[in-house]
Chains A and B, each alone.
Chain A
């Protein structure tokens, strides 16, 4: 089978959001980058599927030249090859992103055959648009199930489990399909050193898509005012226990 997983390069943020001087992006000078967390599970799932069923896994990203780092990260975990839709690093709105990915998928499928599954993260960690996967699915005319915590291939269809009120909702859709997944789907492996070394030699196809006119345009970013609470220190060490219990009683928890 063939599985495509689409990932986004996002900064690895710490305890505080700091903006770049133009307020159009986070200040990332001091930050590392990672694959958006839901998509890390997507990569792991794609690798496991191919380990189980054989075939080919492909990772795709739309992002700046530096996003090649995330493609290598995915290949270090076992993905076979990569497609890099290279941008100048500016923000692409979800529609433009989806359009470029749709074109790339069509081109790749024309050359190498259809993907049985295309995996996305349920939403990106940074912009959180919740829609690129669904737009891609819509354009390709394939069923799409979102927010998955469990995926099981059963013959020509795929059983999908999604967390819902009090349990899990189950879907079953025929392949080819598009799935958006969430963290918790699996526990992604760490890349092994041999995996990392192999990743350096795996092929990356780089292309430069044309950006469609954005209809959702970022104007500026704002760090929300903090809640401004400064903790009341109830004590230090185990001797603080009575004060804690007193507080618990006051707020009616015990």
Chain B
């Protein structure tokens, strides 16, 4: 019986959680068919940094997530990201296995590679799904509006291409016997035209918004560019990053890199402090990964209150400095 195949993204010898979540959906779709995984690897970089064993170990470990066969594709060109090459390899493997479905995580790269697979093979792609059931047609549930809305859809395809919405389904562990195989792809020159030629590291200093444990964000209520001083102060005291809403970037008060939202950064901190942010769907799509949300807003009935754990009602221009002062005072006592 033909298997399903899933693309596994990884870094530093670890598969991404999003890829492991994808495996859960792929297994459920497979309903007993074999689950194959594709792990891409570059011998050049591996020699330098990781060692081949780590990739094999990672591939071998996929058995815990129900992978029956893990294919490690090695190619020199894979030392830097080349999306057409990734798409070619995934397509070739799917062809070789006569896969009944292809899965990837709905990450930027996952979506991009799968779209290229679809374009190359003239197959439809359903992105950011949270559930997929085999059948004719295939039925699936996918996210729209960054997850603020769900779509029930029918997919008519002999080989459905599906990406799985990040952090929308749990990782499932199981025990499967995993066979690790190597796969040698054939790449054409034109598939390497689009490839990363350089990586520019972010300017140092500060905590990355996406990774921060605490994010303090300001919205329309902050009122001005200068108004962010108190937001920065509080973020600094908490060792967190500064965020903002789309209104703020549109007004030019903060750079877009600070924007939390559907079209900005999606964050998953321990604590999100939203100051003067009403909570439009566009914004909530970016911060729904936060473990806890504290809203500071003059409007006790703002939509964000329905999605927060804690709230302080009133003028953020008074409240935020008061919190900073209180933190300092407590530290004073402690020290």
B153 within 8 A of A: yes
A182 within 8 A of B: yes
Rounded to whole angstroms, the CA-CA distance of A168 and B201 in the bound complex is 6
B151 within 8 A of A: yes
B39 within 8 A of A: no
Q: Provide the residues of chain A in CB contact with B195, threshold 8 Å.
A: 171
A220 within 8 A of B: yes
Instruction: Closest B residue to A131 by CB, please name it.
Output: B115
Known: A125-B145, A183-B264. A233 touches B151 (CB 8 A): no
Rounded to whole angstroms, the CA-CA distance of A170 and B197 in the bound complex is 6
Q: Which of A183, A217, A229, A245 contacts B306 (CB 8 A)?
A: A229
Known: A230-B306, A231-B305. A215 touches B196 (CB 8 A): no
Rounded to whole angstroms, the CA-CA distance of A13 and B259 in the bound complex is 18
Judge whether B115 and A130 touch: CB under 8 Å.
Answer: yes
Distance from A209 Cβ to chain B, minimum over Cβ atoms (Å): 18
Interface string of B124-149 (1 = CB under 8 A from A): 11111000000001010101111111
Judge whether B312 and A240 touch: CB under 8 Å.
Answer: yes
Instruction: Closest B residue to A172 by CB, please name it.
Output: B197
Interface size on A, residues (CB 8 A): 82
Instruction: Closest B residue to A233 by CB, please name it.
Output: B311
Judge whether A251 and B125 touch: CB under 8 Å.
Answer: no
Distance from A123 Cβ to chain B, minimum over Cβ atoms (Å): 8
A209-254 with Cβ < 8 A to chain B: 215-224, 226-227, 229-245, 247-249, 251-254
Q: Provide the residues of chain A in CB contact with B148, threshold 8 Å.
A: 13, 17, 224
Interface string of A140-181 (1 = CB under 8 A from B): 000111110100000000000100111111111110000000
Q: Provide the residues of chain B in CB contact with A240, threshold 8 Å.
A: 312, 314, 319, 322
Q: Which of A143, A227, A241, A248 contacts B194 (CB 8 A)?
A: A143
Q: Provide the residues of chain A in CB contact with B124, threshold 8 Å.
A: 93-95, 215-216
Q: Provide the residues of chain B in CB contact with A62, threshold 8 Å.
A: none
B289-325 with Cβ < 8 A to chain A: 292, 294-295, 300, 302-303, 305-315, 318-319, 321-323, 325
Judge whether A134 and B112 touch: CB under 8 Å.
Answer: yes
Q: Which of B150, B199, B292 contacts A168 (CB 8 A)?
A: B199
Q: Provide the residues of chain B in CB contact with A15, threshold 8 Å.
A: 278-281, 302-303
A112 within 8 A of B: no
A138 within 8 A of B: yes
Rounded to whole angstroms, the CA-CA distance of A172 and B278 in the bound complex is 40
Q: Provide the residues of chain A in CB contact with B141, threshold 8 Å.
A: 222
B41-57 with Cβ < 8 A to chain A: none
Judge whether B310 and A234 touch: CB under 8 Å.
Answer: yes
B271 within 8 A of A: yes
Judge whether A130 and B111 touch: CB under 8 Å.
Answer: yes
Rounded to whole angstroms, the CA-CA distance of A169 and B319 in the bound complex is 40
Q: Provide the residues of chain B in CB contact with A229, threshold 8 Å.
A: 306-309
Distance from A53 Cβ to chain B, minimum over Cβ atoms (Å): 23
Distance from B238 Cβ to chain A, minimum over Cβ atoms (Å): 6
B202 within 8 A of A: yes
Q: Provide the residues of chain B in CB contact with A109, threshold 8 Å.
A: none
B200 within 8 A of A: yes
Interface size on B, residues (CB 8 A): 96
Rounded to whole angstroms, the CA-CA distance of A228 and B311 in the bound complex is 15
Known: A184-B257, A231-B295. A222 touches B150 (CB 8 A): yes
Rounded to whole angstroms, the CA-CA distance of A72 and B116 in the bound complex is 32
Interface string of B75-112 (1 = CB under 8 A from A): 00000010100000000000000000000000010011
A168-214 with Cβ < 8 A to chain B: 168-174, 182-184, 187
Q: Which one of B19-27, B66-74, B154-162 contacts A?
A: B154-162
A51 within 8 A of B: no
Judge whether B330 and A219 touch: CB under 8 Å.
Answer: no
Q: Which of B163, B250, B263, B294 contacts A38 (CB 8 A)?
A: B263
Instruction: Closest B residue to A170 by CB, please name it.
Output: B198
Distance from B251 Cβ to chain A, minimum over Cβ atoms (Å): 9
Q: Which of A146, A182, A215, A233 contacts B156 (CB 8 A)?
A: A215
B193 within 8 A of A: yes
B241 within 8 A of A: no
B227 within 8 A of A: no
Q: Provide the residues of chain B in CB contact with A251, threshold 8 Å.
A: 270-271, 292
Judge whether B108 and A147 touch: CB under 8 Å.
Answer: yes
Judge whether B313 and A233 touch: CB under 8 Å.
Answer: yes
Instruction: Closest A residue to B123 by CB, please name it.
Output: A215
Distance from B38 Cβ to chain A, minimum over Cβ atoms (Å): 19
Judge whether A129 and B311 touch: CB under 8 Å.
Answer: no
Q: Provide the residues of chain A in CB contact with B255, threshold 8 Å.
A: 184
Closest 4 pairs between A and B when the two form their complex, measured CB to CB? A184-B256, A138-B119, A15-B303, A238-B322
